[in-house]
Structure 1
Amino acid sequence: MFGPGGPTFRELAVQALSSVEHGYDLLARKFDHTPFRTPDHVLESVAKALAPLGPFEDGLDLCCGTGAGTQVLTALCRRSVTGVDFSAGMLDVARDGGRSAGAPGVAWVRGDARALPFTAAFDLVVSFGAFGHFLPRELPGLFGQVHSVLRPGGRFAFPVFAPPRPAHPGYWTLLGFDAVMRVRNALWRPPFVMYYRTFPLSTVQRELARTGFTVELRALPEFGRRADGSPRARLVTARRAGPRPAGGQPAAGRVNS
């Protein structure tokens, strides 16, 4: 499926009946040949929007997968870049794929975003396409973990796209996908948590603010606007309170790199 190099239908079915971690281990070698990999134009748009907020010293790609998002960090961070993911298979592909070429210093770390193995070591954390793997009740803990690994004045940034309206076929596609996943998880163990409609912007802003972040929204102009004038895509930037220390401190607390 998805063209040459992509997984077969059978491989996708086996993944869908596995746990999230094992499913991505199975898919890892073919992941970059699927539409699930964040497109380059999204990465480039985010990098462009973040550039005026720098310079940054140390960056973390949260739920990095095969490392596509590290392209953003290596262009923005002057000292080090870290990718963290709980799938050993995805990290192996990231290491083998040369994602670190030209970077000031890159580490790949196996770890769970719900219990990050770092101290306050970063002044920029980004994430792409991973939030569907977290249930709404997990967001406070997830955002708390990100807050804990940022230095004072550090930023947590990620793109959010406006959901399709009911008149658009995509609305029903996403609704149907989430419904199928809920049925699958009710009937089959282990669960495979992946939903497209459980990360509304209003909820995200509220939970980030409760965690202690100051939240800003920036339109990503490359994606245009909807008929009502609202942006099709926004960059969420959540800032931890406090001044950024001059020069930062060396990244610390890495394990399993």
Structure 2
Amino acid sequence: MDLVDIVSSHAPDARPVFATAEAMALVARVPGAQPVPAARTASAVVVHRAASGSETGALTVLAELLGDHGIGVLVLDTALTSLPLGAVLRTLGEGRLRALAVHSMSSSGARAAVVVTRDLEVPLRSHVLGEPFPTSGPDASLRRDNELVVEAVVARAMRAELERRLRVAAEEERRLQAQVEQMRGELAAESKAVTQARAEVGRLERALVLVERRSPGYRAARLASAIRDDAVGAGRRLLDRWGPKRP
């Protein structure tokens, strides 16, 4: 979700929007956004940014900047799965802040935004139905309790299904890994067999050459070739080898 949409959805009544130095780059597209003034404003929207690992400290800073009717938007660089939940809840309570919503973000390197306020008249927004909770009366607690309980049940069911799928995926990965290892073994064995076969072919070729060189036909062919090339020289060599020896 974009920061412009977050601000407009929680402050549709044209409140002034201020940003701390850490968050100024984020509010470039938010209409009318200005740096935080020296004096606290009662009902402004204040945007602050928390670097990874400094969420509770940044939340304390935001609490000090908010008036009794202001709305704070803390932009997180940390993924929600890595958020120190217990410390954040404790800091919210210490600052007497009420969390209105948590939004995922995908812009400017931000991962999520927590929207908070001290104003009890600002309604919670149901992220399930996309509409505000009732702010008072029995319908308010009934609606909130129903949504929280049903959502928790659905969340647990979804988590169980995800864990099941992860187990199936892990088993499939192990099966495929075993197949890969088996194929590697088979390829290694085939490669070794090919190497041995090539060595055997080379040995046989060398043995064949030796046999051919020892055969009469091979010798006769060499003699005929020598006579064609140099008949006189070949004759002399034959006489020297096979003719009568001189005294």
Given the two structures, how large is their TM-score scaled by the length of structure 2?
0.28
Bigger Cα Rg: 2
- The answer to which structure has the higher helix fraction is 2
- The answer to which structure has the higher strand fraction is 1
Higher relative contact order (CA 8 A, sep 6+): 1
Given the two structures, how large is their TM-score scaled by the length of structure 1?
0.27
